[in-house]
Amino acid sequence: MLVHIVYAHPSGDSFTHSLLEAFVAGLDEAGHPHTVSDLYAMDFNPVLSSDEYARESSYAADRPIPQEVAAEQAKLDAADGWAFVYPVWWSDVPAILKGWFDRVWTVGWAYHPSNLSRARKALALCAAGHTVEQLRETGLYQSMRAVMLADRVFDRADAKQFHLFDGSEAMTGDEWQRARQRHLQQAHKLGREIGA
């Protein structure tokens, strides 16, 4: 199963980057080839231009799209599975990933009508400072999950999953080290079993 990963974090020393590495190690172990769009390393421009806005707001699917947008769409079309790996910032994805959706999910490709190749599976792997319990209490967990799966992925994948790797700020010392290890093992397992 070919998996395309969209990764959004500026630091190679982050917990989010460790999740990416564990997930990729699982893919490699199971023999799943993969491609990665590292949005920060690519210096991906997340800002929708006025021309792009005019195309989208008038549903003008016959107008051209920027080359970097077409390249991202081609990576997704070529893949059987998609994974989005990112940290939770201000209860959502980083701005660069939000802008990626704004620009890549174009009319005539992602909707109105959708011509993209539907993924067999889409996964969201996100790192959060708060615990799942804290995020559930405020309704933020439910909101983040709904936005990613019900809106952004929607019916563009046959199966979709949201995985929150929590506690990087709420836990300290040994408690965090144990949780971190469990999270990395889970990310590895998700990579290994994505085709199941």
Among the residues of 1-148, which ranges form H helices? 15-30, 39-42, 50-57, 67-78, 95-104, 132-138, 140-145
Contacts of 134 (CB under 8 A, 6+ apart): 170
In whole angstroms, how far apart are CA 74 and each of 68, 104, 144, 177?
A: 10, 10, 27, 39
Q: pLDDT at position 158, please?
A: 96
Q: In tens digits, what is the pLDDT along the chain, a chain of 196 residues?
A: 999 999 999 999 999 999 999 999 999 999 999 999 999 999 999 999 999 999 999 999 999 999 999 999 999 999 999 999 999 999 999 999 999 999 999 999 999 988 888 999 999 999 998 889 999 999 999 999 999 999 999 999 999 999 999 877 777 888 878 988 999 999 999 999 997 7
Q: Which CATH architecture has domain 3-193?
A: 3-Layer(aba) Sandwich (3.40)
Residue 174 confidence (pLDDT): 86
User: Which of 111, 104, 88, 112 lies closest to 46 in space, CA to CA?
Assistant: 104
Predicted pLDDT of residue 113:
87
* pTM for the structure as a whole: 0.95
Which of 82, 88, 84, 86 has the alpha carbon at shortest distance from 141? 88
For residues 86 and 46, give the distance between their C-alpha atoms in angstroms, rounded to a whole number.
15
Domain range list for the chain:
3-193
Is 165:125 a contact under the CB 8 Å cutoff?
yes
Residue 20: per-residue pLDDT: 98
Q: What is the side-by-side strand order in the sheet with 157-165?
A: 34-38, 3-7, 81-87, 119-127, 157-165
Residue carrying structure tokens 């019916």: 155
Length of the chain: 196
- Residue 114's pLDDT is 87
> Are 96 and 40 within 8 A, CB to CB?
yes
Q: What is the pLDDT of residue 52?
A: 98
